[in-house]
Amino acid sequence: MNFSLLLPSGLLALTALILPLLIHLSRRSEQKPTDFAALRWISAQLRPRRKLVFQEILLLILRILLLVALAIFLAKPTSMHAVPPKHWVVLVPGADISGIKNLALKQTSEWHWLTPGFPDFKDTPPASDVPVSSLLRELDALLPANASVTVVVPETLTGLDGERIRLGRKVDWKIVPGDMPAKTRTEKSQPIRLAIRHDEKHNGDAIYFRAAHAAWQTEQKVSEKQALDSADILSPIKPDRSALVWLSVGELPVDIRDWINKGGSIIVSKQTVVPELKSGVAAWRNEQGKVLTIAAPLGQGRIMQWQQELKPEAMPELLDADFPEKLKSLLQTKSLAPTRAFAKSQTPLIGGQAGPKALQSLQTWLALLIALLLVLERWLANSSRRRSAA
């Protein structure tokens, strides 16, 4: 068992130890002069030597101990003791509960929902908008370092915060059938005013984005069908454009960077050089967990980059029926963080802050000791006064 002080400055109260020492040095038992005839023959120059004598040693020791206990009490002593290891099983809402029966889990484990407050598994999980990643980090910080954790997740997760989960302990990541429902958008999405700029090398790649824009027109008004602005990289961007697909080799021109800084969203080809994307986060992963696009902020805007060649053999998602909607979601999303991914691509990493050590305050026991010493000190002090009076 290790002891520590949460407020070591409280030990400054030990300077008060000098008070009982001074009190007991200054006290003297009352002495009554008694005449003795033989004393008149003793020379007046002879005087008895005075010695440093503490009166009532036991009472002095009690008072010193009382002050020491008070000083340690003010320093807030705690003990770090070993806590028996526990095993937690946390379930993400949306996981198929019937699939849990096939998992080899301890019956003595504590079962909880991965929702705010971590309610018992027997209770109905409350609805929550807190990201799964944040809840796991909170649980990791609350549990002692020697506690083991099993996380039961559905095959698809929502409510992610863009950064791969990193915890202070290794968790058992169990994937069962199920799917967390995607959050529905309450606000009406604004039509994308798209521009496409490409060089000669990427002329064939632009066809996928023209087709995606044509698919959007079924949801837009007829008057917006001519909203697509597709041209070569030398053509200026119209001022009313809100999104840009840039397919070119090399660095972005200065005017394009200025357009992004003012709030534009752009997605560039793999060959485009953008230094800001070195610290980008994954914005779209496929079913196998491979990163298709990364994203990073640039001024008030957002820049994304394809991580695969824009060819069906390298990126089959270009031919998927839902590619237009995926592209639309990328260009409309305000946040850089992806919110939905397959659970097998989100297994937590190790390297986060370790869980807390179990701390137990000792102030309660010290308070009892102080009360006992105070009672003994008062009893001895009153006893010494009665003896002196007698």
Segments making up each domain of the chain, as ranges: 2-30+52-81+359-389, 87-183+346-350, 194-338
Q: Report the alpha-carbon distance of residue 41 to residue 185 in Å, rounded.
A: 113
Tens digit of each residue's pLDDT (9 = 90 or more) over 85-120: 688 889 888 887 776 655 656 567 888 999 888 988
Q: Report the alpha-carbon distance of residue 226 to residue 145 in Å, rounded.
A: 60
Strands 265-268 and 272-273: unpaired
First to last CA, the chain: 50
CA 58 to the chain's CA centroid: 53
Contact of 94 with 179, CB cutoff 8 Å: yes
Q: Report the alpha-carbon distance of residue 196 to residue 216 in Å, rounded.
A: 15
Q: Report the alpha-carbon distance of residue 343 to residue 335 in Å, rounded.
A: 21
Contact of 331 with 324, CB cutoff 8 Å: no
CA 267 to the chain's CA centroid: 31
Q: Report the alpha-carbon distance of residue 178 to residue 157 in Å, rounded.
A: 9
pLDDT score, position 385: 61
What residue has token string 């961007």?
A: 237
Supply the pTM of this predicted model.
0.44
Tens digit of each residue's pLDDT (9 = 90 or more) over 341-362: 777 878 888 875 655 555 667 8
Tens digit of each residue's pLDDT (9 = 90 or more) over 322-339: 899 889 888 886 554 556
Contact of 271 with 259, CB cutoff 8 Å: no
β partners of residue 294: 282, 305
